[in-house]
Structures are given as structure tokens and as C-alpha cells.
Amino acid sequence: MKILVPIKRVVHYQAKIRVKADESGIETYNIKYAINPFDEIAVEEAVRLKESGLADEIVVVSFGVAECQEILRHALALGADRAQLYIHPDPIEPLVAAKCLEAVVKNENPDIVIMGKQAIDDDANQTGQMLAALLDWPQATFASSIQIENRQATVTREIDGGLETICCDLPVVITTDLRLNEPRYPSMPNIMKAKSKPLSIEEISSLQVSMTPHLVISKVTSPPERSPGVKLNNINELIDKLHNEEKVL
Amino acid sequence: MAVLVVGEIQNNALASATLSVVTAAKAFNTDIALLLASDDCSQLNSSIDGINKIIHVEHPDFAHPTAEALADLVMGFADQYQLILAPASTFGKNFMPRVAAKLFVPMISDVIEIVDVNTFVRPIYAGNALSYVQSLDQQKVLTIRSTAFSPAPESQSPVDIETYAWEGLSHPKSRFVKIEASNSDRPDLTSAKIVISGGRGLQSAENFQIIEKLADRLGAAVGATRAVVDAGFVPNDYQVGQTGKVVAPDLYIAIGISGAIQHIAGIKDSKVIIAINKDPDAPIFDVADYGLVADFFDILPEFEAALAELGY
């Protein structure tokens, strides 16, 4: 069984996000990047499926700038077998990313695609579902547990109001939620080993997908700030404010 | 041009998030149809201000619909509507991208403002920036963040109800197995007037029960930070924040919460935020309207006495 894990390079989750003065986007000068945390969970889950004998091969793929090699090497150090980078200089919107992934899936024929439920930069939460639709595959989003048996995936999903379990025929697209697993730290020997694992680099044009955007981002602004509040001295002052001034209690 | 709102249904009743989507749909100044898919539509006939018709689709698969079933259903209507809207809940997020991909149009998630027919505002980077997005395609698929739009009121005037027969999927590739609802008589986090949330400062599941008692007293919903959920003190659907639930109550009470960026992203549209934390430098005090530097358990008896005086 083969697993494909698409991964995205995003601004590190601890980086301070500042909007550019000309409102053209966010300030990226000198900012730290990393693998999207939900995608790292997807890689970890794929590695666990391989370790339990259910998967034979894990392929990781990324679209973006040359620096995406770093996150692909990280995924190889976690236990993926080979990596593909398709070079594209600009941000890719979810529909176009899904079209590109569809082309990769047609080349690789995986049984399972596992990917993050959303990237923490554009927070779209779309690409996995769109890929499943384009392939006419079933989908299991927001996974907090995955069991594979008899060419079926039983997936518990984190939904509003509880946990839902569904069963999907393979091939399937699964998107990961936070509590699916806790990714390991790659060991030094595995980091060294990852350096010799295959990593192919091609222009994204080789996938023969139109990269023309459907969306235009006209500006990016800072969210309205809450005006700084006051610190009170005791509970009676607090209750007084809530009851008499704000009238919320 | 007309708008199709795909309604979310919980326990055979319309989820309140759907009413917020109807309010958003009114911004387009055109006919609004509300599509309701359920295994039992008999209770779903209340009229909502602003909608022109309700479409009932009854089928056993819609007791717990899969994304494939919902997308297939919506595609049956797609050629009649220029705009397709649903709540940006786990319900809408699950199937709406599937609809968009089948239509080969982009989707715009988590819309918080409709600037004009083509321009939408949505949060990015966990709410640390707002993106103004224009769609170049005629047909648009949007999910609406319910906390950004007030719920449309019920209407007294009757509304046309059409029924539609859905055949079901010919070769379903996924099946519902079970649901473990986190059973709660408390109000829903996303629609509650008061939310009380606890953070790492509470230190144990037992201490969290004190928060829950206080919530029941106030008729409030209970939330938690990611750290508390990860520690196993409370179920995952308590999580408030960018990757959990986004809330906007009249009163948000943050107890023992330091104020991580991703948590604040989920609460900053609340009307009044109060924070109680031992650490005077906790970032939560930068966004709270009123702060109290104190150990929550030290002031709890006073808090309870004051609430009793107010009749809670």
C-alpha cells in the first residue's frame, strides 16, 4: 500500500505576523518557515501506518519555492521514503493546489492521501476535500483516529458537538486534526539517512495544470485591535462593571 | 442571480449558524432559497425573515450525511444559483469544498464581511490578518463565519416549501458508523450569550468541574484552551481558538488562560472579555476589557456570593 502526503511550507506557528505597510500581504523578511503543523501530523500518521506493516511506501510532495526542500527533508527524516518538489514561485490557491495534486495522484496511484486539514497561513481548509472531489474519492476530514483494514479506512472525525466515525473505501483522502498524533522528533541518524533519500525537483509546469489564479487578494489588513482594558482590584469592582456598566450580568 | 443557503441541522432542528448565513445572504439583495436535507423534515418548516423558499429533501442518508451525499445533492441545484452559502462549521467545511471543486470554482472560507458582490473579507494567519478576496468566477461558493453575522429572526409570514426527491448515491464509497455526542444541556459555544473558559492555570480535570458548575449557574457555555483539551481535562469540542471554535458572546470569562495568539483569535469578537489570572504579565490582559490579577480559587467564594446577590 502506498501513501501520498502533500506538505506545505508555511510561516512558523510561533512567528509574529505583521501586515505590510502597503497592505499587499504580510511581512516575510527574516521570518522563520516550517512544515505546516497539520501536515507534519499527516507525515507522522503515514510513518506509523508503515511501521505497523500496513503501508509499504510513503511519498511526500510539495509545491512552492526551492526552500521547500527543507520541509521535504524533514519529512524524509521522520520516515517518508521519497520526496517530490514542484517548483512554483507564487502562492497557490486551494483549487489549483488540488488540481496539481490530482495530477500527482494520477502519476503515483496511492491508496491513501493523508494531508493537513488546513494550512496555518491561509486557513482555507479546502484542498483535501477538493482533491477528493476531483478524483471522485471518498473523504474523511478532521481525523483524530485512523484504522485501516480490508481496503477500508475507519476514521473518527472531530466535529462540532462530538466525534463522528465513518468508514471509507480505499482509495481515500484523509485530512488530519490536531489530536491524531504527536509527531516525533527526527533522530540524528535519521536526519543523516534522509539526506540520501530520493528528492526529485521539477518545474510545476511538468504537471500540465493551469496555474492561473481564480482569486485576487486586493489587500491584507491588520484586524481591528481591542482597546486596552483596565485591571481591577477585586471581585466587587468586576461585578459592578459587568452588572451596572456593561449590563452583561 | 439567486442564493442557495445549505442549512445545517442538529437534532432535527435548524442550527443557529444557519440563521447567520441567511443574514449574510441578504447582502446580495436577491432571492434566497434554504435547502434543508434531513431524515425527517417535518419539524423544519419555520419561516425565516428574508428567505423566499425552503426546499425539503428527506432521505435516510441525511440523518448523518457524508460529504459525498451533501455535495451530490447540492450539485443538483447548482445550475440555478449563482451563490452557494453554508456555515463555516465542521458541517460546511466538510462538503462545501467538494461542491466548489465539482463546479471548478474557488471557494472562499470563513467569510466575516461581504464588501460587495465580488469582494469578501476573511481572516488568515489565525486571525492575525484580514484578507480582502475577490473572486473572478461568476459562481461563488462561500462559507460564512456565523459569529460575524447576527442570526436572522423568524418570520410570521408563511414561506413556500418545495420538496425534492434525492435518489441517493448510486455507489456510496463512505458510510456513517457512529457518533459520540459530547452530551451537554448547556448552550452551544458558538451561540451562547456567556462563555466561561478555563486554561492551563486550572491544573486538573477536577478543578475544571468547578468552572462547569459556575457555567451552569450562569447559563453559560464552557470552553477551554488547546492545552487543557490536550491534557485530557475536557473533550476536544470544548476547544476555543482558531483551530477550535470561534466564539463571540456578550461576555467571555477567561480563567487561568495566558492568552496564546491562537486562543485570542477565537475570542476577540466577544463584546466584553474579562480575564482572571495570577500572572499579571499574561497576554490575555492585553485583550481583556477587565482584568483581575488573582488566583481564581481564592476569589471563587466572593464571586459566587456576588452572583447570588444578582440572582444567579
Average pLDDT over residues A113-128: 97
Helix (H) or strand (E) segment spanning residue A146: strand A139-149
Q: Tell me the backbone φ, ψ of residue B159, rounded to 5 degrees.
A: -120, 150
Question: CB B237 to CB A159 under 8 A?
Answer: yes
Closest Cβ opposite residue B109 in set A124, A140, A243: A124
For residue A84, give the nearest of A193, A210, A195, A202 by alpha carbon. A202
Give the number of other Cβ atoms within 10 Å of residue A197's Cβ.
17
- The residue written with cell numbers 483551530 in the block is B243
Contact at CB, A141 and B93, closer than 8 angstroms = yes
Contacts of B123 in chain A (CB under 8 A): 123, 223
Contact between A207 and A103 (Cβ < 8 Å): yes
Question: How far apart are the CA of B51 and the nearest CA of chain A, in angstroms?
Answer: 26
Strand order in the sheet with B129-135: A215-221, B129-135, B119-124, B113-116
Work out the pLDDT band at B250, boundaries 50, 70, 90.
very high
Residues B124, A10: contact at Cβ < 8 Å?
no
Question: Is residue A127 within 8 Å of residue A93, measured between CB atoms?
Answer: no
pLDDT of residue A226: 83
Rounded to a whole number of angstroms, the distance from the CA of A64 to the nearest CA of chain B is 18
Q: Do A164 and B173 touch (CB under 8 A)?
A: no
Closest Cβ–Cβ partner in A129, A231, A238 for B94: A129
% of chain B surpassing 70 pLDDT: 99
Share of chain B above pLDDT 90, in %: 81
List, as ranges, residues 187-226 from B with C-beta within 8 Å of A.
Answer: 188, 190, 193-194, 218, 226
Reported as a single tens digit per residue, the pLDDT across A57-92 is 999 999 999 999 999 999 999 999 999 999 999 999
pTM above 0.95, yes or no: no
Q: Which of A164, A218, A242 sits opposite B251 (nearest CB)?
A: A242
Residue B103: its chain A contacts at CB < 8 A? Answer: none
What is the distance between the alpha carbons of residues B238 and B217, in angstroms, rounded to a whole number? 18
Per-residue pLDDT reduced to its tens digit, B59-104: 999 999 999 999 999 999 999 999 999 999 999 999 999 999 999 9
Residue with more model confidence, B45 or A56:
A56
The answer, for A145 touching chain B at a CB cutoff of 8 Å, is no
Interatomic CA distance for residues B253 and B268, integer angstroms: 12
User: Is residue A239 assigned to a domain?
Assistant: no
Phi-psi sector, B67: left (phi>0), alpha (psi -120 to 50), beta = alpha
Among A17, A95, A161, whose Cβ lies nearest the Cβ of B237? A161
Residue A173's domain is classified under what CATH number? Answer: 3.40.50.620
B9, pLDDT greater than 80 = yes
Tens digit of each residue's pLDDT (9 = 90 or more) over B137-152: 999 999 999 989 999 9
- Contact residues, chain B, for A230 at CB < 8 Å: 289-291
Chain B residues within an 8 Å CB radius of A168: 173-175
In three-state secondary structure terms, B97 is helix
Domain presence at residue A230? no
For chain A, count helices (H), then strands (E). Answer: 6, 13
Domain coverage including residue A179 = 2-213
> With contacts defined as CB-CB under 8 Å, which chain A residues touch B75?
none
Per residue in B172-216, pLDDT tens? 999 999 999 876 778 888 888 999 999 999 999 999 999 999 999
CB contact under 8 A, B272 and A242: yes
- Domain membership flag for residue A10: yes
With a CB cutoff of 8 Å and minimum separation 6, the contacts of A196 are none
Residue pLDDT, tens place only, B254-272: 999 999 988 998 898 899 9
Q: In chain B, what residues touch A132 (CB-CB under 8 Å)?
A: 67, 98
Check CB contact of A201 with chain B, cutoff 8 Å. Answer: no
Cell numbers 448552550 correspond to what residue? B187
Residue A192 inside a domain? The answer is: yes
Flag whether A227 is in a domain. Answer: no
The mean pLDDT value of chain A amounts to 96
Contact flag A160-B289 (C-beta cutoff 8 Å): no
In 3D, which of B87, B148, B153 has the Cα closest to residue B113?
B148
Task: Tell whether A225 is covered by a domain.
Answer: no
Interface of B with A in 40-79 (CB under 8 A): 64, 66-68, 71
Q: Is residue A248 part of a domain?
A: no
The closest alpha carbon to A9, from A57, A48, A45, A60, belongs to A60
* In chain A, % of residues over pLDDT 90: 93
DSSP code at position B154: B
Interface probe with A: pick from B173, B190, B242, B284, most Cβ of A within 10 Å: B173
Of A120, A131, A248, the CB nearest to B271: A248
Domain count, chain A: 1
Assigned domain for A181 exists = yes
User: Is the predicted pLDDT of residue A169 greater than 70, yes or no?
Assistant: yes
- A21 CB within 8 Å of a chain B CB: no
The residue of A102, A235, A236, A247 whose CB has the most chain B CBs within 10 angstroms, and thus the best one to mutate to test that interface, is A235
Q: Where does residue B138 rank: exposed (0-12), middle (13-18), buried (19+ CB within 10 A)?
A: exposed
Per-residue pLDDT reduced to its tens digit, B115-141: 999 999 999 998 889 999 999 899 999
Listed by number, the residues of chain A in 102-131 with a beta carbon closer than 8 Å to a beta carbon of chain B are 118, 120-131
Q: Which of A118, A126, A135, A219 to substitute to test the interface with B, most B CBs within 10 Å?
A: A126
